[in-house]
Amino acid sequence: MPISKNRLYLFLTFATLAGYLWLGFHYLRAAQGAGVESVCLIHRVTGYPCPACGTSRSILALLAGDWMGALLINPLGILMMGAMIVLPFWVALDLIRKKETLYRFYLWCEIQLRRPRCYLPLLLLLILNWIWNLKKGL
Amino acid sequence: MDANNVDMFLTANAKFLEEHQLLFIRERLLAMDESRWRMLQFMQFQDPVIILIVSLLTGPLAIDRFMIGDTGLGVIKLLTCGGLGIWALIDWIMIMGITRQKNTEKLMMAIY
């Protein structure tokens, strides 16, 4: 059985909030000239980046107006920034209008992602991004 | 269903299921039609220990979540480096229970 609607909305709200707190913390640190602390377990243990490593740095570059830099650090940063902007509004709109469009979209995505013709290209892209991350040595 | 068959099924699969549901599942299986025994006999469950090992080794890649069928949450976990590492740590503790819960839901779907 998939996650319930209320749990998903609560989870997404909490996750977005945590993301903004994390970004805010690093935005202030960046103003003092400090870099981003890696909390990725894979990066900490092995020293090699995971596919999503560099997302925070990418978003910070975006916030500084450096689109190209953000894309070069990790393209997933742009995706995550988009999600972080859209999701709170989507959750709020659904709650106000008492609808479940986001929940339906989530369930639809889950079904699509289980189909090989959907997940294989995405997996390939992610692996290519990972290889790129390894080459860059994030 | 025959009590011997039910007990055999539960002996083999109890470790994959939620403990507090076992008595209820037993009652339900006993009341079930004999013809569904074959279907039950070949049901496959995810082993919580295997999922825990996968979670310990590849937590931030969310392979554990994908294995138990949480595709949506898996993608979120993967794209956030295991929820900034915190979610990956929490999953080390929670994933065995979640796996048993998923297995129980799968069995419930089959016997209802």
Please say if the pLDDT value at position A87 is more than 90.
yes
The total domain count for chain B is 1
B76 near A CB under 8 A: yes
* Chain A residues within an 8 Å CB radius of B89: 41
Distances (CA, A) of B78 to A83, B6, B70: 14, 39, 12
Tokens of A131: 């290889």
What residue numbers bound the domain in which B27 lies?
Answer: 3-111
Residues 6+ apart with CB under 8 A from A134: A48, A49
Identify the CA nearest to B1 among candidates B21, B29, B22: B29
Model confidence over B84-112: pLDDT tens digits? 888 999 999 999 999 999 999 999 888 87
Domain boundaries, chain A: 5-136
Question: Rounded CA gap, B52 and B55, in Å?
Answer: 5
CB contact A78 to B (< 8 Å): no
Q: Give pLDDT tens digits for B52-93.
A: 999 999 888 999 999 998 888 999 999 888 888 889 999 999
Q: Closest residue of A to B103, CA-based?
A: A1
Interval A3-38: pLDDT, tens: 888 899 999 999 999 999 988 888 888 778 777 777
Q: What angle do CA A36, B55, A79 make, to 5 degrees?
A: 45
- Yes or no, beta carbons of A40 and B79 under 8 Å apart: no
ipTM exceeding 0.90, yes/no? no
